[in-house]
Amino acid sequence: MSSIGIILDVVKLAAGAALTYFVFFLYQRVFRTGVMEKGFRMIAISMLVLTIGRSFDLISIIQPDNELASILTTVIGTAFSLVATYGFYLLYKVWRIEKKESLVEKRPMIA
């Protein structure tokens, strides 16, 4: 049980909790009624999943014999990646601007 490892995991857990609070604050105040609501909601949920994963990581450092905590750290890390990727995909769908033909090209030339 390394004290530096525990301190770093506590710092990561505290930073994850602060980031989760900030993301949910932004979601409630700014993105709740906009077009980016769905994507940002998924990103907010992924931050919550990341914080839960950090807590299991801390448990696995404190209790190295706890196999369930180390397995859950990996599983929740993968879930974070999938949910965050889906959130960014939803934001991409909103941000993407489809290129359309201009009306000038459709009109016949009059001589």
Residue-wise pLDDT for 20-72, tens only, equals: 999 888 888 887 777 888 888 899 999 999 999 999 888 888 888 889 988 99
Closest CA to 86 of 52, 17, 40, 55: 40
List Cα–Cα distances, 8 to 2, 11, 44, 90, in angstroms: 10, 5, 23, 33
Residue 82, pLDDT above cutoff 70: yes
